[in-house]
Amino acid sequence: MDDCIFCKIISGEIPSKKLYEDDEILAFHDVSPQAPVHFLLIPKKHIRNIMELGKDDVALTGRMINKAQELAVGQGCGEKGARFVINCKSDGGQTVNHLHIHVLGGRPLDWPPG
Ligand code: AMP
């Protein structure tokens, strides 16, 4: 999608610190990290948010979660864990309208969110 910053990261128009890439998924470090480990996983297909997922996306989202787990372990979060977050629309605090999973770790995180 033309005005989507994450689509521009996928195309290479905007640079990113990539962690992982395949035909369907891209993972990169968040530009404004909120924890020692903070990266994002996105589908290359432009899906605006989790409410717009269809039944055809089940395999894709399953792969994203498996990859999030694998990368979190690779970033040193295997023992103490991490937080896997999907913000959705305005009440969910979503600011980039391209589905993404945040993975945050490397320090204890508060709950509940403010
Ligand atoms: P959300 O608020 O859930 O939509 O999260 C969007 C995330 O994207 C925020 O944590 C931003 O810091 C991050 N972000 C925005 N632009 C970039 C970028 N160019 N490269 C990496 N992360 C970004």
Could you state, in chain order, the average pLDDT of each consecutive group of 10 residues for the chain (114 residues)? 94 98 98 98 98 97 98 98 98 98 98 90
Q: Does residue 100 carry a catalytic annotation?
A: yes
Q: Is 15 in the pocket of ligand 1 (CB under 6 A)?
A: no
Helix (H, G, I), strand (E, B) or coil at 51: helix
Instruction: Report the separation in Å between the CA atom of 29 and the middle of ligand 1, taken as the mean of its atom positions.
Output: 9
> Is residue 74 in a domain?
yes
Q: How many domains does the chain have?
A: 1
> Is residue 34 in a domain?
yes
For residue 95, the ligand 1 atom closest to its alpha carbon is 4
Q: Which two tokens stand for residue 81?
A: 């864990």
> Is residue 111 in a domain?
no
pTM of the model: 0.98
Q: Which domain holds residue 26?
A: 5-105
> Is residue 110 in a domain?
no
64 CB-near residues (< 8 Å, 6+ apart): 25, 41, 43, 101
CATH code (residue 74): 3.30.428.10
> Is residue 92 in a domain?
yes
> Is residue 113 in a domain?
no
